[in-house]
């Protein structure tokens, strides 16, 4: 079985499991004893609430960084799916009270959680919904509300936990459809699974990271307002094996328990002493502080993650890297690794930048040409005078001209990383010039 087939089968299996766990609260009702039915809209709203809560609990699994779960799709797309399915989940949950209120307006009185007559089950429901509303508002409009990333992450975790815990309490409090052992066990199973995930993510994983610290060995300025960071494992072997192009989560100036990690691609090749290199451009609060790091400073690294790597495609006859700006970092990891291996595969690097002076790793890439069978094509938005190379953007016309002509699936593997608008445009252009969809791979880091 080749890699692509295995990934498709694995990916399909996870989707089926996700669907099964989402529908389980209803499926168990179909096979087990059911209490007397009520009117259609009421039971419809209850069904949406059940599935919605199951889906909300499953969100914790999507973001818990299980490598086997993310391998078939790539981490970036799992986070993208998490963002989208969370909105759908929220709408399904929201439909539950709305339908109840429309068809039984007398229930509106339960919204007053401060009324002593309001039962606790209703208070749980209202506060759960408020937590979920906060969760969606802070996530969808985080940038507009100018909520700093680390603060948002902590709030996000707390609101999600409160939303699910209170939702479960609401179901237990109502107790209508959970009154047989099978159904009770199902919800105990969900709660256990969910609490287990919380323990893993918030307690066990940070504790393991705390025991495997790294120290900053070197901080070096690069072209393009970027900084290269070399980290050395402290008292442990470190990450000696990763696939070039993968990424890790870095915690600096904080404990792993603080939940203040940021994802960055490795920019170096795997090192026998477990040293790790990252190259980070100044783009936000955290990245602007990288240059302030001092040798000897402790940081924590959780990784490697992701499937954006040439090592995932060992049968490729050609490799093409299309990078925009700091999107060069995973490509550098791959190029440096291939150079260390003495690989002679034909490689093409299409590297788009605003201007010649801000081309990160410009000199090193020139040097790699002598060690690899590498063709480099710089594309500049604002080229200097007398520039003989490509100008403007990476377009379909340019790709048609420079890409290997053989479009046989799995012949040429194309890796794309850069700013979102560039990636959207280049993905469309690749389809236009006839590249099979399975042969290009994107890495998107706009996770939140």
Partner 1 sequence: MRQRLANALVWVISAIVILVSVVFALLQSGLI
Q: Note the residues at the interface with partner 1 (CB under 8 A).
A: 15, 18-19, 22-23, 26, 29-30, 34, 37-44, 47-48, 51-52, 55, 73-74, 77, 80-81, 84-85, 88, 92, 427, 431, 437, 440, 442, 444
Which is closer to partner 1, CB of 376 or CB of 416?
416
- CA-to-CA dists, residue 96 to 43, 133, 166, 203, 367, angstroms: 9, 14, 15, 33, 62
Which is closer to partner 1, CB of 119 or CB of 438?
438
Smallest separation, CB 42 to partner 1 (Å) = 8
Which is closer to partner 1, CB of 41 or CB of 387?
41
Which is closer to partner 1, CB of 118 or CB of 395?
395
* Closest listed residue to residue 321, CA positions, set 410, 418, 407, 446: 418
Smallest separation, CB 376 to partner 1 (Å) = 26
> Phi/psi of residue 414, each to 5°?
-115, 130
Bond into 304 cis (ω within 30): yes
Distance (Å, whole) CA 194 – CA 160: 11
Which is closer to partner 1, CB of 49 or CB of 303?
49
Which is closer to partner 1, CB of 48 or CB of 368?
48
Segments of 370-447 assigned E as strands? 374-380, 390-391, 412-417, 440-443
Smallest separation, CB 189 to partner 1 (Å) = 19
Which is closer to partner 1, CB of 85 or CB of 210?
85
220: left (phi over 0), alpha (psi -120 to 50) or beta: beta
Smallest separation, CB 112 to partner 1 (Å) = 28
229 CB-contact burial (10 Å; exposed 0-12 / middle 13-18 / buried 19+): buried
Smallest separation, CB 239 to partner 1 (Å) = 26
Smallest separation, CB 11 to partner 1 (Å) = 10
DSSP string, 195-262: HHHHHIIIIIHHHHHHTSEEEEEEEEEETTTEEEEEEEESSS-------TT-EEEEEESS-GGG---E
DSSP string, 67-84: HHHHTTT-HHHHHHHHHH
Which is closer to partner 1, CB of 6 or CB of 38?
38
Smallest separation, CB 359 to partner 1 (Å) = 28
H or E, element range at 127 = helix 120-140
Distance (Å, whole) CA 422 – CA 2: 31
Nearest-Å Rg of the Cα atoms of the chain is 25
Distance (Å, whole) CA 169 – CA 441: 43
Smallest separation, CB 209 to partner 1 (Å) = 29
């Amino acid at each position: 079985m080749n890699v692509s087939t295995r990934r498709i089968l694995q990916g399909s299996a996870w989707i089926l499991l996700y669907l099964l766990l989402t529908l389980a609260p209803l499926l168990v009702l179909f096979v087990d004893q059911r209490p007397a039915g009520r009117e259609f809209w009421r039971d419809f709203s209850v069904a949406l609430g059940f599935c919605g809560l199951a889906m909300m609990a499953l969100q914790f699994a999507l973001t818990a960084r299980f490598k086997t779960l993310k391998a078939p799709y790539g981490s970036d797309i799992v986070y993208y799916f998490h963002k989208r399915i969370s909105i759908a989940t929220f709408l399904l949950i929201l439909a539950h009270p709305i339908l109840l209120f429309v068809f039984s307006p007398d229930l509106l009185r339960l919204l007053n959680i401060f009324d002593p007559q309001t039962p606790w089950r209703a208070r749980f429901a209202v506060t759960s919904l408020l937590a979920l509303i906060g969760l969606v508002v802070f996530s969808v409009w985080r940038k507009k509300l100018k909520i700093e990333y680390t603060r948002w992450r902590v709030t996000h975790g707390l609101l999600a936990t409160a939303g699910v815990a209170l939702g479960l309490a609401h179901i237990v409090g109502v107790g209508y459809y959970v009154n047989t052992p099978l159904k009770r066990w199902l919800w105990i199973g969900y709660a256990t699974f969910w609490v287990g995930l919380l323990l893993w993510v918030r307690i066990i994983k940070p504790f393991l990271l705390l025991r495997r610290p790294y120290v900053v060995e070197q901080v070096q300025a690069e072209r393009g307002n970027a900084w290269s960071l070399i980290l050395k494992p402290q008292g442990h072997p470190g990450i000696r094996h990763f696939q070039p192009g993968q990424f890790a989560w870095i915690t600096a100036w904080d404990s792993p328990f603080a939940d203040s990690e940021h994802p960055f691609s490795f920019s170096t090749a795997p090192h026998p002493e477990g040293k790790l290199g990252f190259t980070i451009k100044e783009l936000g609060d955290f990245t602007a502080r990288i240059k302030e790091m001092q040798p000897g400073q402790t940081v924590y690294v959780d990784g490697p993650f992701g499937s954006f790597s040439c090592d995932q495609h060992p049968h490729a006859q050609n490799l093409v890297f299309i990078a925009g700006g700091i999107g060069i970092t995973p490509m550098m990891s791959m190029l440096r690794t291939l150079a260390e291996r003495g690989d002679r595969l034909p490689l093409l690097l299409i590297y788009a930048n605003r201007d010649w002076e801000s081309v990160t790793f410009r000199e090193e890439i020139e040097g790699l040409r002598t060690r690899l069978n590498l063709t480099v094509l710089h594309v500049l938005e604002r080229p200097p005078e007398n520039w003989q190379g490509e100008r403007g953007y990476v377009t379909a016309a340019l790709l048609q001209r420079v890409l290997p002509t053989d479009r046989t699936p799995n012949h040429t593997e194309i890796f794309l990383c850069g700013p979102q608008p560039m990636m959207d445009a280049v993905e469309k252009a690749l389809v236009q010039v006839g590249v099979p969809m399975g042969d290009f791979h994107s890495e998107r880091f706009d996770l939140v």
